[in-house]
Amino acid sequence: MTGPGVSNLSVAGGAGGSEAFYEDLAAMGVLTDDVAGETLGIAVTSHKYLADPDLLASAILNPVGAARFEGAMLGALDGPSGLTATSAAIGLRGLTLRATNQAYQFADDLNAKALEASRWLAGVAVVTPPGAAVAAGTVAAIGADIAFNYDGDWQKWLVEHPGMIDTVLGMTPGALSALGLPTDLATLTDLVAAAYPDGDPRLSDLGLDRDPIAVDPPSNLGELFNGLDHRNGTDANIDIRAVTQPDGSVAYIVDIPGTKVWNLPGQDGGSANDFGTNVDAIAGNPTVLQEGIQQALRDAGVPKDAPLMLVGHSQGGIVAARSVDPLLADGYNVTHVVTAGSPVGGIEVPERVQMLSLENNGDIVPHLDAAENPASDNRTTVKFDNQSGTIGGNHAINGNYTEAARQLDGSTDPSVVRFRDSAGIFFSGVSVETHQYKVERQK
């Protein structure tokens, strides 16, 4: 079950986002300063004409005309609306623009820190009286709500209140600190990751994929996601799509599906798509899947300077975002990242890389890092509604994220348009060759 259909798409970040607006303010401030400096320079230089020898000589023959010229010139330079006053006004406007930019960014940072602090303090409160009593009452109220309004279906309640994941995760460090175990969310994630030793990758070449989806070059976001959905249902856990352009040049797309094995610590079956890869990737540790991608690119002979897009669903999106820095350091030309249902808010992505993230509002997985995606001008986040009432349905790629991608192909939002235009080389191919690989963890 994948819900009634995608609706209510909203866009944050990117070319039309708040940080792009802030950068425009800062750029306007700099430009205004330049204009003010040039205007003042002209005013200072123009004062020399008041003592020009030819003007002084003409004053002997025409003192009235010379006086009029001197008066007009002084008014134009130093009068209330003169060049000097105009320069000062322009400079003041530039100062105002820069101050406004800084104030907006300060307010955003303050709000983010206040939210984080409020969750931490709430965590302290739930383990100390009288907060513990309030917390117990809240849990009882939630239980009653689930029992009477959701027919005891806790899963349906959770997917209709996915923000509870952010709240609980944000509260946990505060609760543990109040119990004498000072910590933060990053440290907790590292501790969980330590229970899943990562190991070394083993890469298997599964050959070319002859499926129609794999031999038809994507021409838009919808078809791009269809290819990712196809990979999600095969034995291969990554592929490399070589998209040949009309001029013979080649751009490359790497598809990375989501988690396939939900294992406890010590239950390592060798899968690179297990829960251990999830926690390691969220924690920022190298993973066998990430290392396998680099090995696959080398084995496939992908040129270092060729445009490269990483596309991932769920775990695949986390690994895609985490792979950017290692691949850039290795010399690869990563230009784009696309994620679907992935918790990537805490992952930094270089300004040179354009990133598009899709999130179903009822999908709890993007909340697992308790962080909103940055609204920088190179990161566009699209949220939408498609409530199935189940965790799996809201997180599924087919009929959910694939449908949202199709709707984005017709979007006129400036951030979406800019992303589509910037990724044009991946959607203008005349042919594609799809090579399949399987990455496993060596035992």
199-257 pLDDT tens trace? 899 999 999 999 999 999 999 999 999 999 999 999 999 999 999 999 999 999 999 99
Distance in angstroms (rounded) separating the CA atoms of residues 32 and 43: 16
pLDDT, tens only, 149-192: 999 999 999 999 998 888 888 888 878 887 887 677 788 888 88
Q: Is the pLDDT of residue 107 over 80?
A: no
Residue 33 pLDDT class (50, 70, 90 cuts): low
- Average of per-residue pLDDT across 373-401: 95
> Cα separation of 285 and 319, whole Å?
10
Residue 17 is which amino acid?
G
CA distance linking residue 416 with residue 14, whole number of Å: 8
The pLDDT score that the predictor gives to residue 344 is 97
In the chain, % of residues over pLDDT 70? 75
pLDDT over 60 at 421, yes or no:
yes
Q: What number is the average pLDDT over the span 7-28?
A: 71
Q: Strand 307-313's sheet: what is its strand order? A: 7-13, 379-385, 354-360, 333-340, 307-313, 250-256, 238-244, 431-441, 201-208
Average pLDDT over residues 257-274: 87
Looking at residue 23, what is its pLDDT? 59
Whether 90 contacts 32, CB under 8 Å? yes
Give the count of beta carbons closer than 10 Å to the beta carbon of residue 279.
22
How does the average pLDDT of the chain come out, rounded? Answer: 84
Q: What is the pLDDT of residue 265?
A: 86
272 CB-near residues (< 8 Å, 6+ apart): 201, 237, 287, 288, 289, 292, 439, 440, 441
**Per-residue pLDDT, 256:** 97
Overall average pLDDT of the 48-73 stretch: 58
Which pLDDT score is estimated for 20? 52
pTM of the model: 0.79
CA distance 245 to 428: 6
Residue 238, pLDDT score: 96
Q: Average pLDDT of 42-59? A: 57
Is the pLDDT at 393 greater than 60, yes or no?
A: yes
pLDDT beyond 70 at 56 = no
Highest mean pLDDT of the ranges 11-25, 89-103, 259-273, 298-312:
298-312
How would residue 139 be classed by pLDDT, with cut points 50, 70 and 90?
confident
**Helix, strand, or coil (residue 349):** coil
| Distance from C-alpha of 245 to C-alpha of 173, rounded to nearest angstrom | 51
Question: Which of 49-63, 231-245, 282-296, 332-346 shows the lowest mean pLDDT across its residues?
Answer: 49-63
Q: Is the per-residue pLDDT at 124 higher than 70?
A: yes
232: Cβ contacts below 8 Å, ≥ 6 apart: 257, 258, 313, 397, 398
- Is residue 133's pLDDT more than 60? yes
Range list of β-strands (E), 56-145: none
Q: What is the pLDDT of residue 55?
A: 47
Asked if pLDDT for residue 83 goes beyond 50, the answer is yes
Q: Choose the weakest-confidence range: 4-8, 45-49, 286-290.
A: 45-49
